[in-house]
Structures are given as C-alpha cells and as structure tokens.
Amino acid sequence: MKYYIVVVCMMCVLGWDTLWAAQDHIGSIKTLSGTVVILREGRDVQPALGTRLFTRDTIKTGPDGSAGIILQDDTVVSLGHDSELSLKEFRFDPMTKDFSLISRMVSGTFVFVSGLIGKLSPASVRIETPDGIVAIRGTKFVAHIQE
C-alpha cells in the first residue's frame, strides 16, 4: 500500500512539473528548413515544427537554414540563413497590462511583424542589435545584421 501512495505522489509531482513548464513557454517554431538549432540552458536542442520556445532561448540557423517563430502575442519573426536571435525577455499579461518583449538579433536576416505587445504597448518592445536598439512604432521591419 505504501508503494502505491509513493507512486501516486510521484505522478502528481511529475504532472505538476510538466504543467508548470507548459505555462512558461513564450512561443513556438512554426516553419523550419535546413540546419536550425535552439541553444537552451547550455544545451543544443534540435527543433521540430511546434517546438516550444522559452525566455533565454537562442535560435540559430545554419548556411542552409531558416525558421519562423510565433510568440504568444502573435508576434512573428522569420530568420534567414546564418542568423541568430536571442529571446531575452517576454511578458504578456493583458489583464494586468504587463508587457515586455526584448530580443537580440545577433547576426543574419530577419523579418519582424509585431503582435499585440507592439500594438498595445509599443514602448515595451525592444529589439537589440550589435550596433543599437530598434524601437517599434510600426508593425513590420526587415533587418540584415552582419558580423
């Protein structure tokens, strides 16, 4: 009987951990081609369509790679070949009006289409590049960043 109680408790704990992790994701991979890797907590993750993205993930594409991501506020970012994008911070809570989207375009080619954060609170969106910061006042831009 004690064995069953321990098993049930472990299942509850593991289930809670899975539920908690599911709430932390900020977006997902929507398109994928060629070599793409996600750097997450010091590990390389091989993405597939639908792979969840988390704050502090970095998406890198190879010479033959491209990827499209969508965040929870419907922001869309497309990465061309040899691109690197770090998702530094993401908060989207319309009920409390808590918004923040900070990412860093390290290198490569990007198409950015702002979602609800860009519409509801444009000042809460910050796109960093090696040479400066892009402030969002519209809904779409294209960037090419050379190393």
pLDDT at position 1, please? Answer: 52
Confidence of residue 2 (pLDDT cuts 50, 70, 90): low
- For the chain, give every domain's residue range: 27-145
**What does the pLDDT look like over 40-49, one tens digit per residue?**
999 999 999 9
Q: Which of 74, 83, 87, 81 is nearest to 33 (CA)?
A: 81
pLDDT at position 4, please? Answer: 44
The model carries a pTM of 0.81
Q: Mean pLDDT, the chain, as a whole number?
A: 86
Q: Burial level of 85, CB count in 10 A (0-12/13-18/19+)?
A: buried
Which helix or strand (DSSP H or E) is residue 22 part of?
Answer: helix 2-24
pLDDT at position 133, please? Answer: 87
Least confident interval from 19-28, 66-75, 113-122: 19-28
Q: Which residues contact 103 (CB under 8 A, 6 or more apart)?
A: 77, 85, 86, 87, 88, 126, 127, 128
pLDDT above 90: percentage of residues in the chain: 76
**What does the pLDDT look like over 101-147, one tens digit per residue?**
999 999 999 999 999 999 999 999 999 999 888 877 767 999 999 87
- For residue 85, pLDDT beyond 70: yes
